[in-house]
């Protein structure tokens, strides 16, 4: 690694470095998967990404687990109703989501999607 690359790395914002790292980790167009930035609404799709945030939100008196997934091009929120946690899912975990995306409050949301944990 040269001095120029090291200086460039020091000048680049952390958010940009993280986005580049996640983008390099996933190849969304392989095996019929779609990038989150190109994900069509109201159609069944499969997306892959890395879990960046998790939280439990009460909805109508029942807990819902919200998982934010990022692939470097965009973000999507997977909402699992009636769940407080799912074994194996945590920040940094690679995951594939399969379901129908919709727009809610300016964000892309998958309700109770099928998921696969990736290595």
The rounded distance, in Å, linking the Cα atoms of 4 and 108 is: 38
Q: Which domains does the chain have, with CATH numbers?
A: 3-118 (2.40.50.140)
Reported as a single tens digit per residue, the pLDDT across 72-88 is 888 999 999 999 999 99
Give φ, ψ of 96 to 5 degrees.
Answer: -110, 130
| String of DSSP letters for 88-101 | T--TT-EEEEEEEE
CB of 65 within 8 A of CB of 85? yes
Q: DSSP letter for 39, please.
A: P
Reported as a single tens digit per residue, the pLDDT across 45-72 is 999 999 999 999 998 889 999 999 998 8
């Amino acid at each position: 690694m040269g001095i120029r690359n090291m200086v460039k790395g020091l000048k680049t914002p952390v958010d940009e470095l993280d986005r580049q790292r996640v983008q390099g980790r996933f190849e969304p167009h392989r095996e019929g998967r779609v990038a989150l930035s190109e994900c069509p609404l109201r159609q069944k799709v499969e997306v892959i990404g890395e879990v960046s945030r998790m939280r439990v939100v009460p909805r109508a008196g029942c807990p819902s687990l919200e998982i934010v997934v990022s692939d470097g091009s965009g973000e999507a929120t997977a909402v699992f109703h009636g769940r407080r946690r799912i074994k194996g899912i945590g920040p940094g975990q690679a995951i594939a989501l399969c379901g129908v995306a919709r727009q809610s409050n300016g964000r892309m949301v998958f309700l109770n999607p099928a998921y696969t944990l990736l290595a």
